[in-house]
Amino acid sequence: MLVLFLGILTGIYWAWMSRIREKTALETEYNKKIAEVKMAAFRSHMNPHFMFNSLNSINQFIVKMEPQKASEYLSKFSRLMRQVLSNSTSQLVNLEADIEALSLYLDMEGLRFGDKFDYEIKIEKDIDGKDCLVPPLLIQPYVENAIWHGIMPLDGGGRLMVRVSMLGEQIKISIEDNGIGRVKSLKINKN
């Protein structure tokens, strides 16, 4: 009788533990899917707004009779959109591809705003951009924010520096600009 009772208790315990493991696995999968959706939404943020502004810029170059600039901008725009679309299904891309997309974006913004700012991207020598994986368009939204809220209110002479370095086993990406600063930017945006 005691053996039967212990057998039933053991069976209940294993069924209970199995349900807990199943619930944990479902929660983990759910959280993973939520993170993927958030990342996809974050990446898609660039597309509509940026695409509209880019096409508008190409149109302005055409209207101003600057076909060389329109052609250069359109070429960079098409390469960037190809990268964005091909990377949009990937959770991770190599750092080299993300930096290439960032460079295209910065070149386009530089063409669009003339001599308003210049930029530099520095990557430590010991970082292999092909082996290092990052989420696609990881850096671009922060750089866009630095340009639009920090540098654009300046009259000119804007500088943007993107540095990629190692911090122990992790990659450190820093974005520095000589813009107006967060406090002034908040005041301007508030008005």
Q: Which range has the worst mean pLDDT, 23-27, 98-102, 125-129, 171-175?
A: 23-27
Long-range contacts formed by 9-16: CB under 8 A, 24+ apart: none
Residue 119 pLDDT > 90: yes
Percent of all residues in the chain with a pLDDT value above 90, rounded to a whole number:
16
By the 8 A CB rule, do 99 and 129 touch? yes
62-84 tens-digit pLDDT: 888 888 888 888 898 889 888 88
Residue 45 pLDDT > 70: no
Q: Quote the pLDDT of residue 33.
A: 76
Extract the tokens encoding 86. Answer: 């091909």
The rounded distance, in Å, linking the Cα atoms of 54 and 62 is: 13
Phi, then psi, of 162 in degrees rounded to 5? -110, 125
- Mean pLDDT of all residues in the chain? 83
Residue 163 pLDDT > 60: yes
Higher pLDDT, 115 or 64: 64
Residue 44 pLDDT > 70: no
Q: Where are the beta strands (DSSP E) in 5-155?
A: 93-94, 117-123, 133-134
The rounded distance, in Å, linking the Cα atoms of 46 and 145 is: 11
Phi, then psi, of 175 in degrees rounded to 5? -125, 120
Band (pLDDT 50/70/90 cuts) for residue 24 is confident
Q: Would you call 187 helix, strand, or coil by DSSP?
A: helix
Q: How much is the pTM? A: 0.71
Q: Is the dihedral of CA 51, 156, 146, 182 positive or negative?
A: negative
The rounded distance, in Å, linking the Cα atoms of 137 and 86 is: 12
By the 8 A CB rule, do 147 and 110 touch? no
Higher pLDDT, 35 or 148: 148
